[in-house]
Every structure is written in C-alpha cells, then in structure tokens.
Amino acid sequence: MENYKLTEPRYEAMKYRRCGRSGLLLPEISLGFWHNFGAEADPEKCRFIVETAFDNGITCFDLANNYGPPYGSAEETFGRIYHASLRPHRDEIIVTTKAGHDMWPGPYGEWGSRKNLMASLDQSLRRMRLDYVDIFYSHRPDPQTPLEETMQTLVDIVRQGKALYVGISKYPPEMAARAYAYLREAHVPCLVYQGRYNMLERGHEDAILPQAAEAGVGYVAFSPLAQGLLTDRYLNGIPEDSRMRHSKFLNESVLTPELLTQLRAWNEEAKAKGFTLAQYALRWILRRPEVASVIIGASSVEQLKNNLQAIR
C-alpha cells in the first residue's frame, strides 16, 4: 500500500467535545468498525474510508475484540491500515477496543472475568499490532461475575499501561453507579459510557445520560443511525447491498409500515431544514450536552462524507 498523504487542514472541519470531567477531547463524530471492516471487506475501500475519516478530523476509531466477521478481523483490518497510513499519527488518534461479548470457545471467551478481559486485550493488541489502546471497555455487564473483579481488572489494565482510559458499555443504571464509584475510588475514573441512543431508541435519555453527566463520565452514542434506518437507505425498499440484507443484526421485520411512515416524516422535516435524514439524526443526538461523540458506521466514503456534513 502507498504511504498515506497528509491533506491539511485536518482539524478545521471537526468539532471536539470534552469527554465527561476528563482531559480528553473526542470528535463529535467517531468511526466504528462493527460492520464493513471484516475479512470479506475490500481492503482498499476500508483504507479509503479510514483515511478520509482521519483527514476530516475523525480522531477516534471504535473497535472491539469480536468485530468482523470473523471475530477479530476488524482489528486486523485496522492494524493493517494503521501501519500503512496512520502510524506517524499515533498521538493524534484514539483507538478503542472492548471485551465481554463472545469471542473464543470455552468458559473464558466472554463476559467480565479477569481471565477474559486480560487475555482479550492482549489478543486485541496483537491483532492491531499496538502497544496500548486509548480506551478499553467492558463491553457488557456480567450478571455473574462480581463487579469488583471486572472493575479491578480495568484498573490494573490502566496500571499496566495497556490502556490509557477505561469505559463501560450497556450497563444498567444501578451497575453503572457502582462501577463509577469503584473506579473513582481506585483513581482510574470511568472516562466514558457507551450506549445505544438515537431518534428511534431513546431509553437512555432519562437515566443513563444524566447519571453519566453527574458522575463526570462522558456519553458516547453507538448506532446513531439505528444501523441505517435513520437514513434514506430504506425509504423506498431494501437495497441488495444493505445491512438489512446481509447482517443478522438488522432484521427486515423491523421495517413496518408505521416505522416507514415515521421515517418518511422525519425525512421531510430534515429536507425542510436543509439536511439529509442521516445528518438530521446525528444532529438530534449531538443536541445533548452529555454526548461527547456519536460513533457512526459507514459502508462507503460517500456515506461518511454525507454524515460529516451533519456538523457543518
């Protein structure tokens, strides 16, 4: 692969927000690797998306151990792109990864044990060929493992220098409160809560967002476009190359006539304000001051560029 060519100015078009009560600024838009960066994805297209993102001030790349398919392959893709293009810019980017969902067979391949988290992060670092990640997340709450074990592991990971900051994802409010307290007392404050929040899924508005703000924890919204529903993708049928056709995570049954009516109404509202539905949906999330960043997915550079115009 050719060396990445800088295109300046890189940082003027992006806005950055402080993540909770921390020193860290995050771009209003981050790029996620859950879909579109697995082993079957076109490597050149992946590289083009990542480079375009960075060139537009997206400094935060969100990964997890099991993003692919197959599991681990999105981290490998990121590692390849990082070493081909972004390595001279390591101190300008935030790389995150997570552990907690199913990753490898047997009793230690998932959840929140010390055994799982430590091993998984070491694997992630090897796949990405990095010395450390900027943010390491507990990817989901574990109802069986004592919360203290999971939190102490996050503390130890920071002490080992394998992550600079830690976060939690999808924790219910009462567990989040205990996690914030534990980490604060251990002097490794929780940097960030990562949750699903978009115009169609507003459950976090009343409890999780204010709670995070109160605790000094930044909130980062994932699936801000409801996996593509909050775009023009499905307004006139289901395209063959869409996530709904190819991923088990977005089922055709969600596309009810009622939902389509709602999406079309929002699309008209967006147009009247001079935005696409996707831009409108991202701006809707970013109206909340608790939100530090929205993590978008993109299957093309065009989608990415369209979404970047949300913050023009």
Ligand X SMILES: NC(=O)c1ccc[n+]([C@@H]2O[C@H](COP(=O)([O-])OP(=O)(O)OC[C@H]3O[C@@H](n4cnc5c(N)ncnc54)[C@H](OP(=O)(O)O)[C@@H]3O)[C@@H](O)[C@H]2O)c1
Residues, the chain, total?
A: 312
35 binds ligand X (CB under 6 A): yes
Please, which residue, 13 or 185, has the CB nearer to ligand X? Answer: 13
Q: What does the alpha-carbon distance between residue 40 and residue 267 come to, in Å, rounded to a whole number? A: 32
Cβ-in-10-Å burial (0-12, 13-18, 19+) of 88 comes to exposed
- Considering only 242, 255, 266, 301, the residue that binds ligand X (CB under 6 A) is 242
The single residue among 56, 73, 267, 303 that binds ligand X, judged by CB under 6 A, is 303
- Rule CB under 6 A: say whether 124 interacts with ligand X: no
- Contact (CB, 8 A) for 291 and 220: yes
* 222 counts as binding ligand X under rule CB under 6 A: yes
Distance set, CA 52 to CA 67, 121, 217, 306, 311 (Å)? 21, 27, 29, 12, 16
**Residue 248: alpha-carbon gap to chain centroid:** 19
By CB under 6 A, residue 65 contacts ligand X = no
95 touching ligand X, by CB under 6 A: no
The contact mask relative to ligand X for 168-187 (x = CB under 6 A, - = no) is -xx-----------------
CA angle 3, 130, 16 (to 5 degrees): 75
**Considering beta carbons, is residue 62 or 142 the nearer one to ligand X?**
62
Residues 163, 134 contacting (CB under 8 angstroms): yes
CA contacts within 13 A on the Cβ side of 262: 11
Nearest CB to ligand X, comparing residues 76 and 187 = 76
Number of residues that bind ligand X (CB under 6 A): 31
Residue 166 sits at φ, ψ, to 5 deg, of -130, 160
* Piece in contact with ligand X (CB under 6 A), picked from 11-19, 154-162, 263-271, 295-303: 295-303
Which of the stretches 28-36, 111-119, 123-131, 258-266 binds ligand X when contact is defined by CB under 6 A?
28-36
| Torsion sign, CA atoms 169, 301, 17, 26 | positive
Nearest residue (CB) to ligand X, 20 versus 297: 297
State the residue for tokens 């493992």. 145
Note whether 278 binds ligand X by CB under 6 A. Answer: yes
Among 17, 28, 29, 34, which residue sits at the site for ligand X (rule: CB under 6 A)? 34
What count of other Cβ atoms lies within 10 Å of the Cβ of residue 27? Answer: 23
Task: Identify the CA nearest to 254 among candidates 220, 282, 230.
Answer: 230
Nearer to ligand X, 34 or 82 (CB): 34
CA 85, 224, 113 angle in degrees (round to 5)?
A: 75
Task: Candidates 176, 212, 225, 308: give the one binding ligand X (CB under 6 A).
Answer: 225
Would you count residue 275 as binding ligand X (CB under 6 A)?
no
Contact 141, 66 (CB under 8 A): no
Smaller CB separation from ligand X, 8 or 252: 252
Q: Are 236 and 255 in contact (CB under 8 A)?
A: no
Nearer to ligand X, 159 or 267 (CB): 267
When the beta carbons of 56 and 307 are compared against ligand X, the nearer one is: 307
Say whether residue 263 binds ligand X (CB under 6 A). Answer: no
The residues that touch ligand X, with contacts defined as CB under 6 A, are: 32-36, 62, 139, 169-170, 194, 222-228, 231-233, 242-243, 278, 295-299, 303, 306-307
